[in-house]
A and B are shown apart, each in its own frame.
Chain A
Amino acid sequence: MSFFEKLGFKREEKLKEGLEKSREGLLGKLSKAVMGKDTIDDEVLDELEEVLITSDVGVKTTLEIIKRIEARVSRDKYVSASQLQNMLREEIIALLRDNDTDKPAEFDAILANKPHVVMIVGVNGVGKTTTIGKLGNLYKLAGKNVLLGAADTFRAAAVQQLRIWSERAGVPIIQQGQGADPAAVAYDTVAAAKSRGADVVLIDTAGRLHNKLALMDELTKIKRVMGKIVEGAPHEVLLVLDASTGQNAMQQAKAFTSAVEITGLALTKLDGTAKGGIVIGISNELQVPVKYIGVGEKIEDLQIFDRAGFVNALFEGKKG
């Protein structure tokens, strides 16, 4: 029986308090509901549904997770609360794709290519430029020679913004003026990196909504020209997603994948109350790993993605 059929509307009475109530930890609740049964109480499933949906996991992925949990409970029976908790963690973690070994997230890892070229893409305002500043800093601290490329030549003061980040991180930047051809900037940056012997190149691009086909074509072109100088470049294409974005992030991921084949995700603004649950479905469906998370506006506010930590945060209950 599908979950939504089960759901019914018996919880309607709780509506009034609904908007104001604060969520108690789900994992705690699980304990009273599972012992000695081969099904999970509707109440717990409802609660689970609420947690997942309000974390932007989305209906489809939520149903998938619940289906998996139900299947396991009916097979294993008599699970204890702590077993159920682990099951839930495991099932969600299983949906989050592992990092590729040839694209290590660790900054001190040895990179197969020199320069290792990373292109950063995403819709407007998600945190691309800031993420580049943070990545540049961490690579540099790990002893790498970094070069930034200011290929957002469109947005007002985008170049100045990246320039300030390059100063903060103490890494050089290749730039041209506002309105310059972004592909030319990307090309020049990779060429400069090659001749200077840089280890890592980070290319900033202008924010663009994924339904603007002309802008997506431009991105494909920016990507293509880099490969003309360094074989296989860009070696990574990072899609930056804002944790507060809802289901539209899936469309974003699909469109950017078809334009530039994204290889990893960076999830920003996790220092707020948004949980960024949509990355579970994206990571599963498109088979791309989440590599980094942004947790603030300062240069040190970037972490390597940790699947267990992320899943725990989903169930932590409301902050604040």
Chain B
Amino acid sequence: MFDDLSSKLQSAFKSISGQAKITEINIAETVREIRRALLDADVNYDVAREITRRVKEEAESSDVLNSVSPGQQFTKIVYDELVRVLGGQQEEIRFANVPPTVILIAGLQGSGKTTFAAKLAKYLKEQKHVPMLAAADVYRPAAIDQLKTLASQIGVPVYSIEEKDALKVAKGALAEARKQACDVLIIDTAGRLHVDAEMMNEVSEIKKAVNPNEILFVVDSMTGQDAVNTAREFNQRLDFDGVVMTKLDGDTRGGAALSIRTVVDKPIKFVGTGEKMDAISPFYPDRMAQRILGMGDVVSLVEKAQKEFDEDEARIMQAKIRTDKFNLDDFYNQLQQVKKLGSMQDIVGMIPGMNNALKGVEIEDDALKPIEAIISSMTPDEKETPLIINASRKRRIAKGSGTSVRDVNDLLRQFEQMKKMMKTMTKMNKMGRAVQGLKNMYAQKKP
């Protein structure tokens, strides 16, 4: 856990191991490491200082110094503190007693408002709501076209007018939503800077006019130190209800989440994890804390895997792995499951550290083809009990699959390794290792 920070902390403490007592100085050094890790993760300067102060207090008052592994203990204190700041309960949209529920989307330029507005509409539609979108960005070139294109993909109506008057769009949309008996109205607005008085007035006016049940502030998760300024200003103007962090499919550590939660006491309600319409999910403070501390988004990956994998099948599979009955047929089926997760490159990209490890290794989506071909060329007996595959069988399989005996050998060896590895896999990092296993498998294929 906590690859980055915890290894640093571990070594900070290692350097003084052998000494009888861990001193104040060691705490100071450790706290400095934490502070630096937070700053590297884009946590705001003052917020990072505040957090390290609390961590230090907590460390001093707790028994961390006498524990067997102070590095780990320290990491846990930091982690708990981050989770606490990021917020406990998961919060969803608050719906109006009398529909339509009006949701106003606001934020800086390019943060992902329009995309999120459409994703949210789809998300709510899947929960049996009847949403309508309003195109109240009357400035950005082709903003209305953009919203209409997305809306048509998800089958949601859009209200827009010719006139360049955002307030009028919002009011008109509300009337139209009532008329069409839509129970949710999502208003997309133009991107605006918090220092642009005129534009900030505009959005305040929209708020006054349509009295939203929910105002969501959309933030790019790659935002740096300035996140506190923008969040504070938007909050002062709009008193928004929640925050949306977008583009978390990137490799940003996302410290802005922590900064924003500190300066405005508003929950983060959703995250955006891609450009596609289903790349939206609720916010989980623990995952975000792990991410800020440098763990990568393993959990999301596992979750994605869980969503795609047939649960019963997974259970059967696990039982097979435990009892050593996992054979090449099962392996073949697993490959098909993995493929359902999306492009191999993308899957692998979600695993921390993998991107660098993979530099120069091309993972084509058809990288699995030779493996599939080899397995397909085996008889049921061979798949069931790979041990029976002798030299002449290998030659036959290689010929049948258009590969070489070496490829067949590689596959068999890797399969054995993978089997061993899978047995030791915990629930938590199951997918990560499986993909790692796959990666090894064809990384070796390339010269």
Interface residues of chain A, those whose CB is within 8 Å of chain B, are: 4-5, 7-9, 11-12, 15, 18-19, 50, 53-56, 58-59, 123-127, 133, 154-158, 160-161, 163-165, 168, 178, 209-214, 217, 242, 244-249, 251, 258, 269, 271-275, 278, 297, 319-320
Given A9-B53, A212-B346: A242 touches B149 (CB 8 Å cut-off): no
Asked whether any CB of chain A lies closer than 8 Å to the CB of B142, the reply is yes
B34-61, CB < 8 A from A: 36, 39-42, 44-47, 49-50, 53, 56
Q: How far is the CA of A12 from the CA of B28 in the complex (A)?
A: 13
Chain B residues lying within 8 Å of A125, measured Cβ to Cβ, are: 109-112, 220, 247
Contact yes or no, B49 A15, CB < 8 A: yes
Picked from A53, A164, A278, the residue with its CB within 8 Å of the CB of B45 is: A53
Stretch at the interface among B203-211, B225-233, B398-406: B225-233
Q: How far is the CB of A278 from chain B (nearest CB, A)?
A: 7
Stretch at the interface among B84-92, B161-169, B250-258, B372-380: B250-258
Contact yes or no, B109 A123, CB < 8 A: no
Given A15-B53, A164-B142, A246-B255: A54 touches B225 (CB 8 Å cut-off): yes
Q: Which 5 A-B pairs have the closest CB atoms?
A: A246-B224, A125-B110, A246-B42, A164-B141, A156-B149
Chain A residue at minimum C-beta to C-beta distance from B342: A214
Contact yes or no, A56 B225, CB < 8 A: yes
Q: How far is the CB of B47 from chain A (nearest CB, A)?
A: 7
Given A15-B50, A124-B275, A319-B195: A156 touches B355 (CB 8 Å cut-off): no
Asked whether any CB of chain A lies closer than 8 Å to the CB of B222, the reply is yes
Picked from B46, B109, B223, B275, the residue with its CB within 8 Å of the CB of A155 is: B275
Q: How far is the CA of A4 from the CA of B39 in the complex (A)?
A: 12
11 new A-B contacts at CB < 8 Å, known A125-B220, A246-B223: A15-B46, A54-B45, A55-B225, A156-B150, A156-B153, A210-B251, A242-B110, A244-B224, A244-B226, A248-B252, A297-B139
Contact yes or no, A123 B247, CB < 8 A: yes
Asked whether any CB of chain A lies closer than 8 Å to the CB of B145, the reply is yes
Given A8-B28, A320-B195: A59 touches B36 (CB 8 Å cut-off): yes
Contact yes or no, B225 A246, CB < 8 A: yes
Chain A residue at minimum C-beta to C-beta distance from B226: A274
Chain A residue at minimum C-beta to C-beta distance from B354: A211
Contact yes or no, A210 B225, CB < 8 A: no
Contact yes or no, B251 A211, CB < 8 A: yes
Contact yes or no, A211 B108, CB < 8 A: no
Chain A residues lying within 8 Å of B28, measured Cβ to Cβ, are: 8-9
Chain A residues lying within 8 Å of B36, measured Cβ to Cβ, are: 4, 59
Q: How far is the CA of A217 from the CA of B344 in the complex (A)?
A: 13
**Can you list 27 residue pairs at the A/B interface with Cβ under 8 Å?**
A8-B28, A9-B28, A9-B53, A19-B47, A19-B50, A56-B42, A56-B226, A123-B222, A125-B110, A155-B146, A156-B153, A157-B145, A160-B141, A178-B149, A209-B247, A214-B346, A245-B222, A245-B224, A246-B42, A246-B222, A246-B225, A247-B41, A247-B224, A272-B195, A273-B195, A273-B226, A319-B195
Q: How far is the CA of A164 from the CA of B349 in the complex (A)?
A: 35
Picked from B32, B253, B256, the residue with its CB within 8 Å of the CB of A7 is: B32
Q: How far is the CB of A298 from chain B (nearest CB, A)?
A: 10
Chain B residues lying within 8 Å of A155, measured Cβ to Cβ, are: 146, 275
Contact yes or no, A50 B363, CB < 8 A: no
Chain B interface, number of residues (Cβ within 8 angstroms): 68
Chain B residues lying within 8 Å of A244, measured Cβ to Cβ, are: 108, 220, 223-224, 226-227, 230
Contact yes or no, A251 B251, CB < 8 A: yes
Given A160-B141, A161-B146, A273-B229: A211 touches B355 (CB 8 Å cut-off): yes
Asked whether any CB of chain A lies closer than 8 Å to the CB of B358, the reply is yes
Contact yes or no, B110 A127, CB < 8 A: yes
B75-105, CB < 8 A from A: none
Q: How far is the CB of A46 from chain B (nearest CB, A)?
A: 11
Most buried by A among B220, B226, B349: B226
Chain B residue at minimum C-beta to C-beta distance from A168: B141
Asked whether any CB of chain A lies closer than 8 Å to the CB of B263, the reply is yes
Contact yes or no, A248 B50, CB < 8 A: no
Q: How far is the CB of A95 from chain B (nearest CB, A)?
A: 18
Q: How far is the CA of A56 from the CA of B223 in the complex (A)?
A: 10
Q: How far is the CA of A11 from the CA of B40 in the complex (A)?
A: 20
Contact yes or no, A123 B224, CB < 8 A: no
B1-47, CB < 8 A from A: 28, 31-32, 36, 39-42, 44-47
Asked whether any CB of chain A lies closer than 8 Å to the CB of B336, the reply is no
Picked from B150, B247, B251, B263, the residue with its CB within 8 Å of the CB of A124 is: B247
Asked whether any CB of chain A lies closer than 8 Å to the CB of B319, the reply is no
Chain A residues lying within 8 Å of B108, measured Cβ to Cβ, are: 244, 269, 272
Given A126-B110, A160-B141: A247 touches B42 (CB 8 Å cut-off): yes
Chain A residues lying within 8 Å of B395, measured Cβ to Cβ, are: none
Contact yes or no, A50 B45, CB < 8 A: yes
Q: How far is the CB of B27 from chain A (nearest CB, A)?
A: 10
Q: How far is the CB of B41 from chain A (nearest CB, A)?
A: 7
Chain A residues lying within 8 Å of B140, measured Cβ to Cβ, are: 161, 297
Q: How far is the CB of A148 from chain B (nearest CB, A)?
A: 13
Contact yes or no, B249 A12, CB < 8 A: no
Contact yes or no, B39 A59, CB < 8 A: yes
Chain A residue at minimum C-beta to C-beta distance from B151: A156
Picked from A11, A53, A258, A272, the residue with its CB within 8 Å of the CB of B194 is: A272
Contact yes or no, A212 B222, CB < 8 A: no
Q: How far is the CA of A181 from the CA of B148 in the complex (A)?
A: 22
Picked from B49, B220, B255, B345, the residue with its CB within 8 Å of the CB of A242 is: B220
- B123-137 vs A, CB cutoff 8 Å, 1 = contact: the mask equals 000000000000000
Picked from B45, B142, B195, B227, the residue with its CB within 8 Å of the CB of A161 is: B142
Asked whether any CB of chain A lies closer than 8 Å to the CB of B67, the reply is no
Chain B residues lying within 8 Å of A154, measured Cβ to Cβ, are: 275
